[in-house]
Amino acid sequence: MHDPTLTHTAARRNMAAADGAAANGYDRGGMASVGALSLYAAMLRGELEGDEALQASRHIFELVLNSVHHAIWWKDANSVFLGCNRKLAEYAGVGHPSELIGKTDADCAWGAAVVPRSGTPWFQDHDRMVVETGEPLIGLREQVRIAGGRVIWVETNKVPLTDFDGKVVGTLGTFTDITSRIEAEAELQRTLEDLDERVRERTSELSRANETLRREVEERVRLEAQERAQRSHAEALRDTAAAVARSLHLDDVIEQVLIGVGRLCDHERSYVAFYDNEGVLELAGERYPDHPDRGAPEPHTRITDPLGGWSPPEGLDDGAGSGPVSARASMSRVNGSVVLPLEAADKRLGCLVIEPCPGHDLSNSDVDRLAILADQASSAISNSRSLVLARSLAAVEERQSLANDLHDSVSQTLWTATLLAETLARSSDLDAKQRDRAGRLHALTAGALSEMRTLLLELRPSVIEETPFADLVHQLVSAFESRRRAKCRVDLDRDVEPLPTVKVALYRILQESLNNVTRHANAENVHISVDVAADVLEMRVRDDGTGFEIGSASEHFGLRIMAERAAAIGASLQVESSVGGGTTVSVLVPGVMELLVPAPQRPS
């Protein structure tokens, strides 16, 4: 049977043992724990009542407080300690938790703020925050200087302490030593930072290596591209030089030069122009790389000189040893275009002009290569023009020789035949029929003689300038009448004698007009007049032939050529015609008083 008396006796004995153990160091030999657990068991069985039960509860509460690893305390609303566990007492350096009752943080080793996140103000501010807000503070990291002067890191939790009515009357707090964790985290952070630094250094090394490799690759690619470009440019220069050397025809040389320009650089347009005898620049050839099908320029198209005239560069002597100046030395840039002079034997022949694509100027290396091409072109063009000149001189000499032979033989024979025919036609021994035949023979021989004289003028063009203008007109008329059974009336003042250039132009226009009448007009009568009035010379050729509709005339009528000849001397050409109403060609030369010279004296 259960004996209550024995049970109470045993409980009292255990309680006394627990009190003694607690008084001598809490848990000497584990007796306090054993005694407290026995009391707790007895209390649960209902074996303890009153003071005995209350004392047993107190022992159990102290056992729990002193057994946990955390430091535990509780304070009033003014941060005054009301109690703590044994762990906090150890940190404070006191023998028993009761020694902290009635004290504050300022009375403890951690009261001085010797390190950040520490000191009495720090701790009490958080106590006041919990009291005033009624909200807990969980996981607060702080630094605490414990007994012995060592500073540790703790993780603090503070909750409001309330009375039975729920009013906050203080705080209940715990903290745990996390110094090893903080040191581990710091070591980990240092390790991570060191690792990051090594990664950054390695990444930087790799980036530098990659950048070096990239630059080396780019330089290799650039050098290879430059080598290919140089090889291509060298081949272009070589091919162009060979092409221009193979041909002595000027048009072929110009074409090959412009093709070579297209192989050397990208551009919008390139052209070659030459100076004429008057120093005016005329377009000789042009090329549009993006429009290769564009037609050739009109012959003798005059353009603005991009060089603005030319004088020998400084240091160039009078040909006694300086030699030709390179195109590179005389190169100019005009409105973005590169202008390279074409020179030979200290004489400027013209220029090679390269117009770049919009927004892309030609580089100095492009100009250097183009200058080499221009020098090659200058030599080829000079050789071609020299050959043309030589052939022209040879042709002139041959024509001169032929003219001399015709003059000395055929012309003299025709002149003799004309005299004989004229004498025969005047003979009184002939009847009317024979006299008519003799007259026809005289007309034929006279016409043949006029044709021969006209032919001699063509073979010796310089003679046109030396022959009086009236004689030239009558020779053309005689030749025309010998070819056509048409009457030609001439009204010409023999004192009208234009300057040589004007005279040649008027002669050629009259010659072409009579040729048109012969070939197309089918006229019976032609009237030629040359008048000077109000400082204007007017030469008019009128026929009564078939005529034509203005604007529908074919190119073979030569109207365009006659207009160009008139424009060359500052004159104007007017053509009036209608179908069945004949044709009138008029040439008006203004300022003629300055274009006339004294008529040559003729024998009386």
Q: Is the pLDDT of residue 604 over 50?
A: no
Nearest Cα to 65, choosing from 48, 82, 88, 45?
A: 88
- Give the rounded percent of residues in the chain with a pLDDT score beyond 70: 76
Which tens digits make up the pLDDT trace of 519-576? 788 888 999 999 888 888 899 999 998 888 876 644 444 788 888 888 888 899 998 9
Start and end residues for every CATH 3.30.565.10 domain found in the chain: 490-604
**Measuring CA to CA, which residue among 271, 294, 295 is closest to residue 282?**
271
Tell me: the pLDDT tens digits for 351-408?
A: 899 999 888 888 888 888 888 888 888 888 877 777 766 666 666 566 666 655 555 5
Tell me what pLDDT residue 484 has.
67
Alpha carbon 211 to chain centroid distance?
27
How high is the pLDDT of residue 199?
A: 93
pLDDT of residue 28: 42
Place of tokens 């103000």: 121
The answer to which of 126-135, 159-168, 329-338, 432-441 has the lowest mean pLDDT is 432-441
pLDDT at 449: 63
Please write the tens of the pLDDT for every residue from 101-147. Answer: 999 999 998 998 888 889 999 999 999 999 999 999 999 999 999 99
Residue 517 burial (CB < 10 Å; 0-12/13-18/19+)?
buried
Residue type, 327: A
> How confident is the model over 33-92, as pLDDT tens digits?
556 667 667 767 777 777 777 777 788 788 888 888 899 999 999 999 999 999 999 999
Cα–Cα nearest to 235, from 71, 94, 427, 369: 369
Distance from C-alpha of 497 to C-alpha of 465, rounded to nearest angstrom: 11
Cα of 3 vs its chain's centroid, Å? 114
Q: Return the higher-pLDDT residue of 49 and 594.
A: 49
More confident residue, 471 or 311: 471
pLDDT computed for residue 175 by the predictor: 95
What number is the average pLDDT over the span 187-199? 93
Considering 190-194, 302-306, 392-396, the range whose residues carry the highest mean pLDDT is: 190-194
Q: What is the pLDDT, as a whole number, of residue 325? A: 54
Fold adopted by 238-311+322-389: Beta-Lactamase (3.30.450)
Domain 490-604 CATH (choose: 3.30.565.10, 3.50.50.60, 3.30.465.10, 3.30.70.870) = 3.30.565.10
Cβ neighbour number for residue 329 with a 10 Å cutoff: 11
What number is the average pLDDT over the span 219-235? 87
Identity of residue 203:
T
Q: Distance of alpha carbon 145 from its chain centroid, rounded?
A: 73
Residue 446 has pLDDT above 70, yes or no: no
Question: DSSP string covering 426-478, please?
Answer: T-TTS-HHHHHHHHHHHHHHHHHHHHHHHHHHHHSTHHHHHS-HHHHHHHHHH
Amino acid in position 502: V
d(CA 13, CA 31): 12
Structure tokens, 136: 């807990």
- Contact (CB, 8 A) for 375 and 326: yes
Q: Residue 74 has what pLDDT? A: 95
- Reduced to 3 states (helix: H, G, I; strand: E, B; else coil), residue 164 is coil
DSSP helix/strand/coil, 81: strand
Instruction: Give the β-pairing of 525-533 and 487-492.
Output: parallel
CB-based contacts of 120, cutoff 8 Å, min separation 6: 104, 105, 106, 111, 112, 113
Q: Is residue 333 very low, low, confident or very high in pLDDT (cuts 50, 70, 90)?
A: confident
Asked if residues 109 and 90 have their Cβ atoms less than 8 Å apart, the reply is no
Range list for CATH 3.30.450.40 in the chain: 238-311+322-389
Residue 167: per-residue pLDDT: 94
4-183 to CATH, choices 3.40.50.261, 1.25.40.10, 3.30.2290.10, 3.30.450.20: 3.30.450.20
The pLDDT of residue 309 is: 57
- Please list the residue range(s) of the chain that carry CATH number 3.30.450.20: 4-183
Per-residue pLDDT tens digits for 260-301 = 888 888 889 999 888 887 778 888 888 888 887 776 777 668
pLDDT band at 316 (very low <50, low <70, confident <90, very high): very low
Q: Token pair of 457, please?
A: 């003028």
